[in-house]
Homo-oligomer: A and B are copies of this chain.
């Protein structure tokens, strides 16, 4: 039995060295990144069996993704596309500090996953899994992907698999209005909602204090757990009528991309381990902080390292 199955798109991630620009660089670092595979990799590294479902072109570029995910122990029973009209989603990222900021260029149209159907995926893996995770990026990719997302969430729900959904609003994929409709169509099948405060306000159109936001969401959609992520201000969760406030751990950031997914991965791993929500949030925040010190989207961490951060003795040199 798998502990966690996730479903979504993973892209090639291409970035110039620090301080260099896409316009002029001769060198690109090649990594992979996708919310759902990032979560699967974090959970696998933290000691649980995870699998990632997706659709990839049957090419070295597609295999680049499975090769890296397998290296972290993630099982990758994906659908392989031979359709030449589909391709490998790609994104370019240029890291820049203030005031330049980080610039992302998506090149993901016609990715193989836009043609995915639930039929091509081993849905029994979801039924036999303890948890299922996907994010709001997936239904935004195409009508087919939206339909598959709905089917897989319902499959999980019917089988008693705990479903986890992160809004992950992407303005380059759909408008807030479209996203709100898309999200609401899925909420019935969702047990645990993860939502950035900004998306909650700007996409779901909710307002009030953070506490208002989590209780409003929980009330309206009957979520088992709601986690509001608030950037530097940490996270606020509501579960079983109780709220939990989790600050961030300070981190020397090398690469901020994937921080949110590491947070979710840390939370789910703790929950799979039987920890309560409060402890889950600690592990989430610790995994997220560790991720920031590491190049690439994926939280290349160990359970011991997360424990050390939670136990607050991570830094310094041991010799």
The residues of A with any CB-CB pair to B shorter than 8 Å are 14, 17-31, 59-61, 63-64, 67-68, 70-73, 85, 87-88, 90, 92, 94, 96-107, 109-110, 170-172, 249-257, 286, 289-290, 293-295, 300, 305, 308-309, 314-319
Inter-subunit contact A71/B61 (CB<8 Å): no
Query: Could you tell me the distance between the alpha carbons of A73 and B20 in the complex, rounded to whole angstroms?
Result: 18
Out of B107, B294, B317, which one reaches A101, CB within 8 Å? B317
The smallest beta-carbon distance between A162 and chain B, in angstroms, is 26
Q: Which residues of B contact A102 (CB under 8 A)?
A: 316-317
Q: Which residues of B contact A67 (CB under 8 A)?
A: 23-24, 71-72
In whole angstroms, how far apart are the Cα atoms of A18 and B292 in the complex? Answer: 12
Residues of chain B within 8 A (CB-CB) of A100 are 290, 293-294, 305, 309, 314-315
Query: Chain A: interface secondary structure?
Result: loop
Chain B residue contacts of A85, Cβ below 8 A: 109
Establish whether residues B21 and A294, one from each chain, have CB atoms under 8 Å apart when the complex forms: yes
Which one of A22, A92, A99 has the greatest number of beta carbons of chain B within 10 Å? A99
Q: Is the CB of A21 within 8 A of B60?
A: yes
Tell whether A23 pairs with B294 under 8 Å between CB atoms, given A97-B252, A107-B88, A319-B171: no
Shortest distance from the beta carbon of A66 to any chain B beta carbon, whole Å: 8
Smallest beta-carbon distance A271→chain B, Å:
22
| CB atoms of B99 and A315 under 8 A apart | yes
Cα-based distance from A64 to B72 in the complex (angstroms): 11
A14 to B13, CA, bound (A): 13
Nearest B residue to A289, CB-CB: B99
Q: Are A22 and B60 in contact (CB under 8 A)?
A: yes
Task: Specify which of A31, A100, A289, A300 lies most central, judged by the most chain B CB atoms within 10 Å of its CB.
Answer: A100
Distance of A140 Cα from B314 Cα, bound (Å): 26
Q: A27-B30, A290-B99 are contacts. A318–B104 as well, Cβ < 8 Å?
A: yes
* CA distance in complex: A253, B96 (Å): 10
10 interchain residue pairs of minimum CB distance: A97-B252, A71-B71, A19-B295, A19-B254, A22-B60, A99-B314, A101-B315, A100-B293, A102-B317, A28-B28
A104 surroundings in chain B (CB, below 8 A):
317-319
* Known contacts A99-B309, A171-B319, A314-B100, A64 near B22 by CB under 8 Å: yes
State whether A87 and B99 are in contact (beta carbons under 8 Å apart), knowing that A60-B22, A67-B71, A71-B70 are contacts in the complex. Answer: no
